[in-house]
Chains A and B, each alone.
Chain A
Amino acid sequence: MKRIYLDYAATTPTHPEVMKEMLPFFNQIYGNPSSIYQLAQRAKGAVEEARKKVAELINAKPEEIIFTSGGTEADNLAIKGVAWANKKKGNHIITSKIEHHAVLNTCKWLEKQGFKVTYISVDKYGIINLDELKDSLTDKTILISIMHANNEVGTIQPLLEISKIAQRRGIYFHTDAVQTVGKVPTDVKESGVDLLSLSGHKLYGPKGVGALYIRKGVKVLPLIHGGHHERNKRAGTENVPGIVGLGKACELAAREMATERRKLKMLRDRLYKGLSEQIEDIVLNGHPQNRLPGNLNICVKYVEGESMLINLDLEGICASSGSACTSGSLEPSHVLLAMGIPPEIAHGSLRFSLGRDTTEKEIDRVIEVLPPIVKKLRAMSPFGKKIKSGEYRG
């Protein structure tokens, strides 16, 4: 059975050209970039070359890019780093209810350290409430952290409008752009963000590497102390192969983004159309237009997400769900709940995220395979008779 991978928002396969670029840095150009001989300086040169490529993709200056171990570390560095460095200015942070846990749990931890955090609500499409954001601002607000696009439902936030609000008050604005960099144009100058997190493995680069854009002049304290690496913002010998891979991935993304976006959107729309024609009572989650091109998130009413995922896996199809069972907690996705979706419906969510290797044939296979799975599970569901009798309305 051929595997059909539709979980590119979770991670992507490393691009063969990226792997090729990385390989020499394991055992040929293995010098420590901090050393002075040529073997080391070549490695250092490669790191700086990668920094340029990352910067170019998001329209930043190379010296504004700090390499990290991934998106989570970039989010931690942005939020804790700004909070600690600006403690004298204030102790208030604003974020949203639908952030990735890398942001949410960092904020929750800061609350325990005495910081105040406001979690802004979102509308039914997952767009943050700008009025609520404005009303939450205080003299003590030092940071606003709102993600660029949501990892579950794909909704893209109006960064420019948020940055205008932040700039007027001299508040730093961080965005977790892990899902957007390389997928949709992400321009730090145009959007006016002060800090931006990105991750290598979401854009066909390797796992274990990411970066934080820190606009020149923004005060950030490091999380990791040690040597003078990364402009004293992130100590530790550079992950040279990983950084080189991230650089190459950014270069490829810049080249392929436009055609890739069109293709993904076409296939994504085909998938939704096919599924909604064959399965009754499914709901599209997220914004119908302002969303990531490769993201499709639906709720299939009266069935639970994990049971669909396991059935799909048996057919070789990899997808994900926001059901409690897949998160290891007892509650379904905080994102779907924040969008006002009732818990019993949120448990039936499915996320298909498409990527560069996705084909029309694969999409058609999913359209063929999922309806009978849903039918089988619905026959097993106690909601069935309630649906028939009209007692249950989702």
Chain B
Amino acid sequence: MADQWSLYSKKVMEHFQHPRNVGEIKNPEGVGHVGNPICGDIMELYIKVKDNKIVDAKFKTFGCGAAIATSSMVTEMVKGKTIEEALKISNRAVAEALDGLPPIKMHCSVLAEDALKAAIEDYLAKKGKKNDY
């Protein structure tokens, strides 16, 4: 029933119905927690990093259709990317990869970018600490 009258694009609906990479990673190299319950969107993004490359990513999200679809898309986009490449993924790129989001839902793609950045920062912080010892 996801036809032309749907609020979301086919791609968003596809990711919403069949989200990729749902779940958590045990002992992840980085975790990003963003959003707050008051706004109704919470994202947790986990990354597994090997040799400066993101080899796996998973998410858990409490949020609307767009929040779930952007979580799914961003985890797909980062897999196989180096940390430097992953840091360049913008919220616009996530939204574009989903064939666009309704204007009032653009903040969901911002949340996805923020979650990714937070996970990478967490990874870099941990790495920095390790290097210190």
| A interface residues with partner B (beta carbon < 8 Å) | 1, 302-307, 310, 313-314, 316, 323-326, 328, 330-332, 342-344, 347, 379-385
Contact = CB atoms under 8 A, between A and B. Distances in A.
Given A306-B64, A382-B44, 7 more contacts: A304-B63, A310-B7, A325-B63, A325-B65, A325-B67, A331-B38, A342-B37
Most buried by B among A316, A342, A344, A380: A380
B62 A304 contact: yes
A385 B23 CA distance: 11
B119 to A, nearest CB: 13
Interface string B12-45: 0100110100101000000001000111111110
B19 A380 contact: yes
Contacts of B60: 380-382, 384
A310 B33 CA distance: 25
Size class of the contact patch on chain B: 20 to 34
Given A307-B63, A328-B104, A382 B42 contact: yes
A352 B116 CA distance: 36
Interface string B42-77: 111000000000000000111111111000000000
A344 B63 CA distance: 10
A261 to B, nearest CB: 32
Given A314-B17, A380-B22, A332 B40 contact: yes
A325 B62 contact: no
A330 B107 CA distance: 10
Contacts of B33: 382
B1 A316 contact: yes
B40 A304 contact: yes
Nearest to B71: A380
Contact of B1 (A1, A305, A383): A1
Contacts of B42: 382-383
A305 B2 CA distance: 18
A324 B37 CA distance: 11
A324 B44 CA distance: 20
Given A323-B40, A325-B40, A382-B42, A310 B61 contact: no
Q: Report the 6 A-B pairs with minimum CB-CB distance, sorted nearest first.
A: A344-B37, A325-B64, A306-B64, A347-B40, A382-B60, A343-B38
Most buried by B among A307, A314, A326, A344: A307
A78 to B, nearest CB: 31
Contacts of B41: 304
22 contacts: A1-B1, A302-B62, A304-B67, A306-B64, A306-B65, A307-B63, A314-B17, A323-B40, A325-B64, A325-B66, A326-B64, A343-B37, A343-B38, A343-B40, A344-B38, A344-B40, A347-B40, A380-B61, A381-B60, A382-B62, A383-B42, A384-B60
A152 to B, nearest CB: 16
